[in-house]
Amino acid sequence: MSRQQATPETRSVRLLKVGEQVRHVISELLTRQMVHDEVLSAHSVSVTEVRMSPDLRHATVFVKPLLGADEEIVLKALRTNTAFFQKEVAGKLRLKYAARIKFLPDESFDEASRIDALLADPRVVRDLDEE
């Protein structure tokens, strides 16, 4: 029986699917407050994106506390409980390897706000109106 060759397109689809599954598992754990941590219980944390490495052994999880409050404290609490998250994700997804999880702050909202501010600048608006 011949094995189909994985193209970059199919690999990326698989990475996206697995990343989305990991995101759902971590979001569920945080929503149901299954992590026994006072900081995480006191904050609402949004898991915005999960990027998987091509070999599915590493997951980079981008998170943002609600309203961006106490971001460093929340990140420290998440990093402290990384082993719990890895164990739960491995148990629920049943992948060949348990992905090593790394939590990072999601800067995309800050970047979007910066771009909006630049576009609202009167000099930029003036230049855009000329066209």
Whether residue 126 is contained in a domain is answered as no
Whether residue 123 is contained in a domain is answered as no
pTM of the shown model = 0.76
**Are residues 11 and 54 in contact, defined by beta-carbon separation less than 8 angstroms?**
yes
Phi and psi at residue 33, to the nearest 5°:
50, 50
* pLDDT per residue rounded down to tens, the chain (131 residues): 444 555 555 558 888 999 999 999 999 999 998 888 888 888 889 999 999 999 889 999 999 888 767 889 999 999 999 999 999 999 998 888 888 999 999 877 667 777 777 777 787 777 777 65
Whether residue 47 is contained in a domain is answered as yes
Range of the domain at 47: 8-106
Alpha helices in 1-131 (DSSP H): 8-31, 38-42, 71-80, 82-93, 108-120, 122-130
Q: Which residue type occupies 83? A: A
Nearest-angstrom CA–CA distance, 83 and 55: 20
Nearest-angstrom CA–CA distance, 60 and 45: 16
Structurally, how many domains does the chain consist of?
1
Tokens at residue 74, please?
A: 């929340």
The CATH number linked to 15 is 3.30.300.20
Whether residue 44 is contained in a domain is answered as yes
